[in-house]
């Protein structure tokens, strides 16, 4: 398939998932890099993923297909930063170490400079880029800002927004929300009475 044809195919697919203004940027990333890119069914434990291919296969990036357009964009760039880091360093560096953070910053800066991101997301990204000791995948403030652009569903909420004692569904299990322990909530699984520490920015289904 010619580059022009690939470009058309990528555009037709990506425009369904990304803010249209950024479709060309992600298309160029796909055209310029030897990586397999797949949009997949939602996964409860991750938004995106990068995996190294075998000797006969390309490395692969997968992105959950249910993300809002801005979360899809930032997650895609996050995973491309993993790919770029792997190209340069192989498996010799930590997954979210300084090498990855610098690649993430390099890929994000053109997006921020367009001025087409919502102001709250742009500010959160700027803060994240200036705080290179923190990993973007654990950047709570950025996750909160991205979550604001999810389609409104009254049965779904961030765990931190539920009152203590609320029952909720997460990964097909029913929990009761408990007290905050540093950065996570101590939650009890109803069926087994086991306690788990759950991030406040976990998206849960409200039961009570």
DSSP SS3 for 189: strand
177 and 102 within one domain = no
- Report the CATH number at residue 164: 2.30.30.30
Q: Does 113 share its domain with 178?
A: no
Cβ within 8 Å of residue 148, ≥6 positions away: 120
Q: Out of 117, 147, 177, pick the residue that ends a domain.
A: 147
Q: Are residues 134 and 35 in the same domain?
A: yes
Q: What is the pTM of this model?
A: 0.80
Task: Take residue 122 and report the two structure tokens written for it.
Answer: 């742009």
pLDDT at 3: 76
Residues 68 and 117 in one domain: yes
pLDDT average, residue stretch 87-92: 92
The rounded mean pLDDT for the chain is 89
The tally of domains found in the chain comes to: 2
Predicted pLDDT at 137: 53
Residues 164 and 117 in one domain: no
- For residue 138, the model assigns a pLDDT of 58
Task: Tell me the CB-side half-sphere exposure of residue 186, using CA atoms within 13 A.
Answer: 8
Specify whether 164 is located in the same domain as 131.
no
Q: Which domain holds residue 174?
A: 156-206
Does pLDDT of 154 surpass 80?
no
Q: Assess whether 70 and 126 both reside in one domain.
A: yes
Mean pLDDT value across residues 9-16? 93
Alpha carbons 67 and 53: distance in angstroms, whole number: 25
102 shares its domain with 186 = no
Q: Please report, rounded to a whole number, the percentage of residues in the chain having pLDDT higher than 70.
A: 94
User: Which DSSP string corresponds to 90-148?
Assistant: TTSS-TTSHHHHHHHHHHHHHHHHTT-S-HHHHHHHHHHHH-TTS-GGG-HHHHHHHHT
């Amino acid at each position: 398939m010619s580059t022009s044809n690939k470009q058309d195919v990528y555009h037709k697919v990506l425009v369904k998932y990304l803010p249209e203004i950024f479709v060309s940027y992600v298309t160029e990333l796909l055209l310029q890099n030897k990586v397999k890119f797949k949009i997949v069914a939602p996964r409860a434990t991750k938004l995106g993923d990068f995996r190294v291919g075998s000797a006969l296969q390309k490395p692969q990036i997968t992105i959950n297909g249910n993300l809002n357009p801005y979360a899809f964009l930032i997650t895609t760039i996050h995973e491309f930063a993993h790919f770029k880091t792997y190209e340069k360093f192989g498996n010799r560096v930590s997954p979210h170490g300084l090498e990855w953070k610098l690649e993430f910053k390099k890929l994000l800066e053109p997006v921020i400079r367009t001025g087409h991101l919502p102001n709250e997301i742009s500010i959160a990204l700027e803060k994240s880029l200036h705080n290179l000791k923190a990993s973007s995948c654990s950047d709570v403030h950025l996750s909160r800002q991205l979550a604001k652009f999810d389609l409104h569903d009254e049965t779904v909420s961030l765990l931190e927004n539920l009152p203590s004692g609320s029952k909720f569904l997460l990964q097909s299990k029913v929990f009761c929300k408990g007290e905050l322990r540093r950065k996570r909530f101590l939650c009890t699984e109803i069926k087994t009475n086991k306690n788990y520490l759950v991030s406040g920015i976990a998206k849960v289904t409200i039961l009570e």
